Amino acid sequence: MADELGGRVARHAVVIGGSLAGLLAARVLAEHAERVTVVERDRFPEGQEARPGVPQGRHLHVLIAGGQQALDELLPGFMAELGELGAPKVGVPEDMVQWQNGQWFRRTPATAHFYTGPRPQLEWLVRQRVLADPRIELVEGTETVGLTGDSSRVRGVRLRERGAGADKETRTLEADLVVDASGRSTKAADWLAGIGAEAPHEETLDTGLAYATRVYRSPADVPGTDAIGYYVVPSPDQVYGGVVLPLGDGRHLVTLSGLRGDEPPTDEGAFEDYAKRLPHPVVSDWLARAEPDSPVYGFRKTSNIRRRYDRPGRRPAGFLATGDALCAFNPIYGQGMAVAALTAVALRRALTDPKRTPTTRQVQRALLDASKQAWDISAGADKKMPGATGDAARPGPADKAVGWYLRRVQERAAGDPVVGAPFRAALTLTAPLTALFAPSVARAVLFGPVHGTPAEPPLSRN
């Protein structure tokens, strides 16, 4: 097969990890390989329950528009099925009371929508669709402990039954292609070293952001509002965040966030007191009327990590990384599920590119490119936060000029639909960041006034 991944693609492909990214990669590879094996360290639940392999699974997840489009491309009809399961659909800015950078957003007609149902629900539906393919086999309760092959080519994986202990015998599963979708805590650096290859350089950026989440039964009646959700967005000048979004069936997820040294508590009483740190009591007032329906769960692993497999190094053919094993974002920006789907679309397009025979390096570069815009948004915002650390926190040569322009975009996005619509399109990964520099937008940003915004939370639509 030389270093080719398209045309005469692998007879057998192994995907490490049954994550959303891993399952969608398996879906694409099944179009080319004779068979695909997904190796998952946990055991999947029968229904729509949370699984241990998603440590942030009990927290807020949104499926933004870019991810919706990608999932429908990979699994036709997926979004209609998700809607039939009851996943709430929220339009912005129309359905949300949102505060950011000292402004309340005008609730003008929605130009973007996202789904806010529980992540286990979405994962269950993806599993049902993907694993129905007879070419895809699932191996559960099994961990990957290494690769086979050498620094020029990967030829399989070494597996061990999970929980068996280090002295338990391993078995080898031969493969022509191995895809690492094992998440942000991937052991790929050790696996590659074990066959004489080099690990990729890791770019990191960590604000120390932490968040805590609790499920509430929504108030029976919240007078004077038709809002579906509430969002107080943190910024360098105001570092606390709070969001209230529907899960369906009258339940809402409430997430509060803060930075290193002042993390939101997981103590139930202190959780609601922490909401009073937000710059307006709108979230705290909602909590006072709602009924708690779960414990408080905390989450701390929010650093941005990008593994640069695109850079030179001694790395084997037949090994790819995807999902959080390639590029992991601060989850507060809600990009992870969308990027998992967009990366799978990029994998499909790279493997079917009529202009070239795909190689490991070319395909890996395409997967990284699929995550670039989300990285630019997440890392670009995080490097401005106080206390940000990591090599990606250093400002680049163009950051000052771009930052000046984007501050003007944000000042106008809250009140001017001409700026707000492309701003949301870029954030939801349905338009490139260059859309913010289109002539009509640039005129409004550079020469237009800052439109008036509500002085108080807009509890009713405009």
Could you tell me if 234 and 276 lie in one domain?
yes
Which has the closest alpha carbon to 216: 243, 179, 188, 183? 243
User: Using CA of residue 253, residue 114, residue 82, residue 69, what is the dihedral sign?
Assistant: negative
In this prediction the pTM is 0.94
Q: The domain containing residue 436 runs over which residues? A: 396-447
First to last CA, the chain: 60
For 245, phi then psi, to 5°, come to -140, 150
Cis peptide leading into residue 316 (ω within 30°) = no
Length of the chain: 462
Could you tell me if 38 and 155 lie in one domain?
yes
* Total domains, the chain: 3
- Is residue 460 in a domain? no
Could you tell me if 370 and 251 lie in one domain?
no
Q: Are 368 and 191 in contact (CB under 8 A)?
A: no
User: At 228, which CATH number?
Assistant: 3.30.70.2450
Which has the closest alpha carbon to 427: 409, 411, 439? 409
Q: Taking the CA of residue 141 as centre, how many other CA atoms within 13 Å lie in the half-sphere pointing to its CB?
A: 5
User: Mean pLDDT per segment of 10 residues, for the chain of length 462 residues?
Assistant: 52 96 98 97 89 73 97 98 96 96 96 95 96 98 97 97 77 97 96 98 96 90 82 95 93 95 93 97 94 94 95 95 96 94 98 90 97 96 94 85 94 96 97 97 97 94 76
pLDDT at 166: 59
Q: Are 460 and 224 in contact (CB under 8 A)?
A: yes
Could you tell me if 270 and 129 lie in one domain?
no
d(CA 382, CA 338): 19
d(CA 52, CA 331): 17
**DSSP three-state, residue 320:** strand
